[in-house]
Structures are given as structure tokens and as C-alpha cells.
């Protein structure tokens, strides 16, 4: 697909990778509907896109709220006068060991259900709802070709302290294959990009010791940048023979 032919939704676009993707798409001439729970961040993204060849439309979106997702997709379709793409980027972290024993007191602590539910609600259920409703709108209106790009993670292979995040991201990678098969009759491809450690507000909040150790394990010797991920997203969109697969973009990091 050509970037300037896109009428695409980008979730989690108030900052980080989502903002970068939205701006790159607008620069390429695409129409982009951005959503996030952070309205101030959305406004900043919209301001940065002023003067771009494409058009950017912003509205608050909670992907974990089924009704809100449905309303957002209907709004996006109306604003852009069409819909043929989605970058499923919204995500959160609520890290913690499933079971932990305090070294000093011997007290046993566990990952709370609230931590589990929050991550699954946004990173998996929310991504699924958004893919479902965007694709349903494309099928209903006969819009094809179409593309869905899911943002997975190399944490899908398993990562200490991320039972909830790893579960959500591995499921999203698996469903990339599932949805590719299901949506093929409608002319819609599905791809996934799996970032390693990327310089975003989310990773900037990491414990410094843990961050330094992780960077030291990256063979290319640096943290990834949103532009590194954009190159992979752009490939997934533009290569019409790429479908049902996940690309790891992690600098060679093994978790």
C-alpha cells in the first residue's frame, strides 16, 4: 500500500512511538486518526503535524472501553471519509514478579490481579477490540486493500517481571497470524512489529540499574529509537507480500 493512500488509525499516539508513527504518516500524505487517553499529548501531536501534506485528526480513546472503541472507529471513518488501516500501538506496563520473597523479612508478595487485568485490558483486549471494529468497518464499506499493524514486543518470548505484558504481547503476535488468515478473503493484511528496548517515555521511567543492564546486553550497543521502528512499520505497510508475520526490531537483544 502507498502511504499517501492511507486513511489510518493510530492508537497510543499521545507520545512515544505512536506519535512518531502518526507524524511520519502525515508527512507522507496520509490521513491519520489518532487516539489516546492523554488528551494533552494528543493535542501536542496534532500541533506537531500542522503543515504536513497529510491530515491528522485527534480524539480521546480508551481502547479498554468497548463502547469508546466503537465510537472512535465510527468517528475516524467519518472524519477521514474512509478507513483502510490501523496501527495497534496503545500499551501500558504494570511490571512485577508473579511471586516474590522479601530478602529481609521473608514476606511473600504476589502480582496483584489489578496489575494483571490492567495490562491485559489495554494491551490485548483493547488491541483486539480496535482491530475487530476497524476491520469490520473496512469489510462493511468494501474498503480494500487494508492493513493492520500490531505492536507486539520481544517480551513475548518471556521476560522476568512481565508475566502480564509477555502474555499480552505473545497473544497479539499469535493473533497476527490468526487474523491474517481470517481477514485474507477481505483483502486485508495483518503484520506485527516487536520492539526491543526503545527510547520512549515508557522506558525512560525504568529503574536505572535495570536499564543499564539491558542496554549492555544489546549487541548493537544502544537503545532503539522510534525511527528504527517506523522503518519496520513502513515496510509492513508498503510490502503487499508481507502478511501474518512478526518482525523483531531489537538490536539483536536476547531476553
Catalytic residues: 165
DSSP class per residue in the chain: --GGG-EEEEESTTSHHHHHHHHHHHHTT-EEEEEES-HHHHHHHHHHTTT-SSEEEEEE--TT-HHHHHHHHHHHHHHHT---EEEE-------B-SEEE-TTT--EEE--HHHHHHHIIIIIIIHHHHHHHHHHHHHHHT--SEEEEEE--GGGG--TTBHHHHHHHHHHHHHHHHHHHHHGGGTEEEEEEEE-SB-SHHHHTS-HHHHHHHHHT-TTSS-B-HHHHHHHHHHHHH-TT--S-EEEESTT---
Name the phi and psi angles at 221, rounded to 5: 80, 15
Determine the Cα–Cα distance for residues 152 and 191; give it in Å rounded to an integer: 10
Amino acid at each position: 500500500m502507498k502511504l499517501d493512500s492511507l486513511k489510518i488509525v493510530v492508537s497510543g499516539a499521545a507520545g512515544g512511538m505512536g506519535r512518531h508513527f502518526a507524524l511520519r504518516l502525515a508527512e507522507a500524505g496520509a490521513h491519520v486518526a489518532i487516539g489516546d487517553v492523554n488528551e494533552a499529548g494528543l493535542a501536542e501531536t496534532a500541533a506537531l503535524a500542522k503543515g504536513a501534506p497529510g491530515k491528522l485528526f485527534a480524539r480521546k480513546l480508551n481502547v479498554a472501553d468497548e463502547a469508546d472503541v466503537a465510537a472512535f472507529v465510527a468517528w475516524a471513518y467519518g472524519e477521514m471519509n474512509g478507513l483502510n488501516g490501523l496501527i495497534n500501538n496503545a500499551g501500558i506496563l504494570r511490571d512485577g514478579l508473579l511471586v516474590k520473597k522479601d530478602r529481609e523479612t521473608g514476606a511473600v508478595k504476589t502480582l496483584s490481579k489489578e496489575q494483571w487485568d490492567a495490562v491485559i485490558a489495554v494491551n490485548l483486549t483493547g488491541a483486539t477490540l480496535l482491530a475487530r471494529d476497524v476491520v469490520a468497518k473496512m469489510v462493511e464499506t468494501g474498503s480494500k486493500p487494508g492493513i493492520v499493524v500490531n505492536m507486539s514486543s520481544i517480551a513475548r518470548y518471556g521476560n522476568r517481571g512481565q508475566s502480564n505484558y509477555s502474555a499480552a504481547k505473545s497473544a497479539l503476535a499469535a493473533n497476527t497470524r490468526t487474523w491474517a488468515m481470517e481477514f485474507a478473503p477481505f483483502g486485508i493484511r495483518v503484520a506485527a512489529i516487536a520492539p526491543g528496548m526503545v527510547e520512549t517515555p515508557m522506558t525512560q521511567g525504568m529503574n536505572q540499574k535495570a536499564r543499564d543492564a539491558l542496554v549492555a546486553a544489546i549487541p548493537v550497543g544502544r537503545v532503539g529509537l522510534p525511527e528504527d521502528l517506523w522503518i519496520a512499520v513502513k515496510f509492513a505497510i508498503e510490502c503487499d507480500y508481507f502478511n501474518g508475520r512478526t518482525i523483531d526490531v531489537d538490536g539483536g537483544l536476547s531476553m
